[in-house]
Amino acid sequence: MSQPFGAYQNEIYLQGLAGQLPPFTTNPDGLEATAREQLEPGPYWYVAGGAGSGATMRANREAFDHWRIVPRMLTDASRRDLSVTVLGTAMPAPVLLAPIGVQSILHPDGELATARAAAALGLPIVLSTASSNTIEDVAAASGLGPRWYQLYWPNDPDVCVSILDRARAAAFEVLVVTLDTWTLAWRPNDLDRSYLPFIRGTGTAIPFSDPAFRAGLASAPEDDLPAAVLRWVPMFTGTDHHWDQLGFLREHWDGPIVLKGIQHADDARRAADAGIQGVIVSNHGGRQVDGAVAALDMLPEIVAAVGERIAVLFDSGIRTGADIVKALALGARAVLLGRPYAYGLAHGGEAGVRHVLRSVLADLDLTLGLAGHRRPAELTPATLRQR
Question: Could you tell me the residue ranges of all domains in the chain?
Answer: 7-386
pLDDT at position 3: 65
Which tens digit of pLDDT belongs to each residue from 5-44?
A: 999 999 999 999 999 999 999 999 999 999 999 999 999 9
Q: Average pLDDT of the chain?
A: 97
pLDDT of residue 1: 52
Q: With the C-alpha atoms ordered 12, 17, 22, 23, is the resulting torsion angle positive or negative?
A: negative
Q: How far is CA 25 from CA 21, 136, 336, 354, in A?
A: 9, 33, 21, 13
Q: Compute CA distances 95 → 19, 170, 242, whole Å.
A: 32, 22, 29
CATH architecture of the domain covering 7-386: Alpha-Beta Barrel (3.20)
386: helix, coil or strand? strand
> Do the beta carbons of residue 248 and residue 195 sit within 8 Å?
no
Query: 284 an active-site residue?
Result: yes
Gap between the Cα atoms of 257 and 276, Å rounded = 6
Give the per-residue pLDDT at 25: 97
The pLDDT score that the predictor gives to residue 345 is 98
The closest alpha carbon to 381, from 65, 71, 69, 75, belongs to 69
Strand partners, 84: 91
User: Packing angle between helix 55-65 and helix 321-329, nearest 10 degrees?
Assistant: 80
Q: Which of 242, 252, 264, 284 is catalytic?
A: 284
Entry pTM: 0.98
199-220 core/surface letters (b: 16 or more CB in 10 A; e: else) = bebbbbbbbbbbebbbeebeee
CB 82 within 8 A of CB 94: yes
The pairing of strands 311-315 and 335-337 is parallel
- Nearest Cα neighbor of 329 from 278, 353, 357, 364 is 364
DSSP state of 99: P
Kindly give the parts of the chain with pLDDT less than 70.
Answer: 1-3
pLDDT recorded at residue 312: 98
